[in-house]
Every structure is written in C-alpha cells, then in structure tokens.
Structure 1
Amino acid sequence: MGLRNLLDRLAAVFATDAGPDVDEERAARLADAAADPAVTATALSTPGDRTRYPLVAYVDDGEQPEYLFRGGTLMVDDGDSLARETPTRELAVVVTDSRFLFVVGGRLSDSLFEVPFEDVVTAYVDDEDDRTYFVVEGDRDGDELTFFADVTMDPRPDALRAAAERAESVPE
C-alpha cells in the first residue's frame, strides 16, 4: 500500500464523521431567546469557518446561549505556564446563562474550555492596546485558570462588556 492509498483511506475514515446530530428547531428557539443578535440559528447550527461541529452541540439542555463572539487565539494561564491555543479554524466564545465556553476550532476536532459562572473570579474586556481580549479568571477548587480570548476581529465593545457582566448578574 502506497502513501497515497493510506492517505485516501484515512481521509475516508475521517470524512464519515458527521459529528453530532443538530436539532435546527432547537437552534432557532435558542437564537430567538438570545440577548445578542449575533446568536443566530445559522451561527448555532452550522459548522464551518468557526468550528468543526455546530456550536449548539456544546450547549447543554436547559442552557441558553446569550452572546457569541469570533476570535483568534486563546491563551490559557494556569499560574505556572501559559498555553497558546491557536485554532486551525476559528475561536468561538459563547456566553450562556450559566457559563463561558471557549471553542477552539480544529481540523479533526474542536477543543472546548468552559468556566461555569460559579467558578468565575472576574470577567472583563481588555482593550487598552491594539488588541481586544475577553478575559475570564476562574477558580475551581483552588485551581486558578485565566483565559485570554483575542476577540479583536469582533468590533462590538458594548456587547463584550455586557457578556463579561453576565457572571456577576447570576444569582448564587
């Protein structure tokens, strides 16, 4: 078997992965109830330039997406080291009614990072330089993580600030 045959067989295996089933009616209901007009049924139900799988696949039952932002690189700081998550597709930041989701789009799979609101220490927008970062600091059982999502390509500072304030407005 030549290299070309091997690559063709591997491509066929990966190409059959259609991912999770998408309930387009659910995506439409979620989009209608969202605070941010960027949360559309199409944005939730269609994979593409952002992620390998539709974003609605990452939203739990009973959870409401409120904001959606496009981004570039995601940096994750655990206090000891800084990891740079560079998507091969695109970073999507989804703010729901209960958590922050950072979906790093990849060719073969997506990477999902989440911070439930009860674990948020602070969330804010850092736009004092040429770049704009959506920053979420979390503490889960003493494990501190800080997420820096480069959202420079999403020029909606008011929506970013409103999304950052979501964690503070949720009753405990």
Structure 2
Amino acid sequence: MGLRDLIDRFAAGIATDTGPDVDEERARRLADAAADSAVTAAALSASGGRTQYPLVAYVEDGEQPEYLFRGGTLLVDDGDSLARETPTRELAVVVTDARFLFVVGGRLSDSLFEVPFADVVTAYVDDEDDRTYLVVEGDRDGDELTFFADVTMDPRVDALRAATERAESAPE
C-alpha cells in the first residue's frame, strides 16, 4: 500500500463519520417551544456548516433550548490563565432552561463547554465597546471560570439580556 492509498483510506474514514443521528421531530418540537425565534428546527439539526455535529445532539433529554446566538471567539478565564477558543467553523451559544452551552465548532470535532444555571455566579452582556460579549461567571465546587463569548455578529442585544435574566432567575 502506497502513501496515496493510505491518505485515501484515512480521508474516506473521516468522510463517513456522520456523527449522531438527528431526530428531526425532536428538533422541531424543541424549536416550537423555544422563547427565541432564532431557535429553529433547521438551526438545531444542521451539521457540517457551523459546527461538526448538530446542536440538538448537545441538548440533553428533558432539556429545552430557549436561545441561540452565533459568535466568534470564546475566551475562558480560570483566574490563572486565559484560553482563547477560536472555532474553525463558528461559536454557537445555546441557552437552555438549565444551562449555558458554548459549542466551539471545529473541522474534526466540536469543543463543548457548559455552565449549569446552579453554578452561575453572574451572567451579563458587555456591549460598552465596539464588540458585544456574553459574559458568564461560574463557580463549581470552588473552581471559578469566566466565559467571554464574542457575539458581536449577533445583533440581538435584547435577546441576550433576556437569556442572562433567565439564568439569573432560575431556581437553584
């Protein structure tokens, strides 16, 4: 087997990974019940364009996505260091009835970060400068993390504020 055959075999293996099966009916039900009109069945079930896998694959059973925002870079600060998560595809922020999901779309795989509402210390929108950030500070068992999601490309500041208010008012 030559190098070309090896490359073709490897590439074929990647192309056949379609990821999790998408339940179109579930995506439609979730979209119909969402508070935000940006949460559509198409947005939840699409894959390959913005993220490697469909967003509905990251929503747990019994969980309801309420808001969906598109963004660029995600910065994660753990107090000691700052990590820049730059998607090769796109950042999707899904706010459910229970948590914030930050899906950093990648060519081969997505990176997923979550902050359950029970762990949220504060959530707010920073739109004082030219850029708009959704900022979520979380504390899980003494481990503090702050997520700065650049959502400048999504001009719906009122929806962002509504999403943060939902998180702040969620029952513990």
> Per the shorter chain, which TM-score range?
over 0.9
Q: Distance in 2 between matches of 1:39 and 1:140?
A: 28
Q: TM-score, normalised by structure 1?
A: 0.97
**Structure 1: unaligned runs, 5 residues or longer:** none
Deviation string for 1:141-170 (max 9, x for gaps)?
000000000000000010010011111121
Output aligned runs, 1:28-107, within 5 Å: 28-107=28-107
Name 1:6's counterpart in structure 2.
6
What RMSD over aligned residues (CA atoms) do the two structures have, in Å? 0.9
Name 1:154's counterpart in structure 2.
154
Q: Distance in 2 between matches of 1:135 and 1:29?
A: 29
Output aligned runs, 1:97-136, within 5 Å: 97-136=97-136
Name 1:17's counterpart in structure 2.
17
Deviation string for 1:90-122 (max 9, x for gaps)?
000000000000000000110000000000000
Q: CA deviation at 1:2?
A: 4.2
Q: Distance in 1 between matches of 2:114 and 2:15?
A: 27
Name 2:170's counterpart in structure 1.
170
Q: CA deviation at 1:7?
A: 2.2
Deviation string for 1:4-55 (max 9, x for gaps)?
3332111111111110011100000000000000000000011132101000
Q: TM-score, normalised by structure 2?
A: 0.97
**Structure 2: unaligned runs, 5 residues or longer:** none
**1:73 is matched by which residue type in structure 2?**
T
Q: What secondary structure is seen at the aligned counterpart in 2 of 1:165?
A: helix
Report how many residues are paired: 172
Q: Distance in 2 between matches of 1:91 and 1:2?
A: 38
